[in-house]
């Protein structure tokens, strides 16, 4: 922080302030233009219900023999198939609030993957998940999707 403060001072950015605080107890008492944080999602409360749902999904995939880490293997898969090095993109979202599509999305994935899910209360999972995340004022991250593409010279 001392280095950042010194740089701001040299640049005559008198309006810039640097504060250190935990995301959970950071209290803003005046209007600010920006807050910059790094790796703060690690410190936000996590919905245990969301974590349970993700465990169910991955365990079901594992038992079905589905490759759950195919995204990181797409590059070598393309190359082994004789294709050029693919361009790759990782796309993900963070969702929160009472109207997020993610509650129903995660539930629909579970319903599709796990016919025995009724045993675990799948019919009320979206509502319980929504209530859990909203009560924490948190977010959840639906699964990220990795895409890959390559052009073959014509």
Write down the pTM of the prediction: 0.54
| Vertex 135: Cα angle to 38 and 101 (nearest 5) | 80
What are the sequence ranges of the domains in the chain? 45-149
Q: Which helix (H) or strand (E) holds 96?
A: strand 95-96
| pLDDT, tens digit, 9 for 90 and up, residues 111-138 | 788 675 565 666 778 888 899 889 988 8
Q: What is the mean pLDDT of residues 2-6?
A: 90
Sequence-distant (≥ 6) Cβ neighbours of residue 139 within 8 angstroms: 41, 44, 94, 95, 96, 133
d(CA 65, CA 90): 23
Give burial (CB, 10 Å; 0-12/13-18/19+) of 113.
Answer: middle
């Amino acid at each position: 922080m001392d280095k950042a403060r010194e740089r701001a001072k040299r640049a005559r950015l008198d309006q810039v302030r640097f504060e250190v605080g935990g995301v959970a107890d950071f209290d803003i008492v005046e209007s600010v233009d920006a807050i910059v944080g790094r790796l703060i999602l690690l410190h936000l409360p996590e919905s245990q219900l969301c974590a349970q749902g993700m465990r169910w999904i991955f365990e079901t995939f594992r038992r079905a023999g589905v490759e759950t880490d195919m995204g990181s293997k797409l590059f070598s898969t393309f190359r082994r198939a004789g294709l050029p090095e693919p361009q790759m993109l990782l796309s993900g979202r963070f969702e929160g609030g009472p109207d997020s599509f993610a509650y129903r999305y995660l539930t629909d994935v579970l319903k599709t993957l796990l016919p025995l899910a009724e045993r675990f209360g799948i019919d009320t999972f979206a509502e319980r998940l929504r209530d859990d995340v909203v009560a924490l004022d948190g977010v959840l991250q639906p699964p990220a999707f990795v895409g890959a593409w390559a052009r073959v010279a014509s």
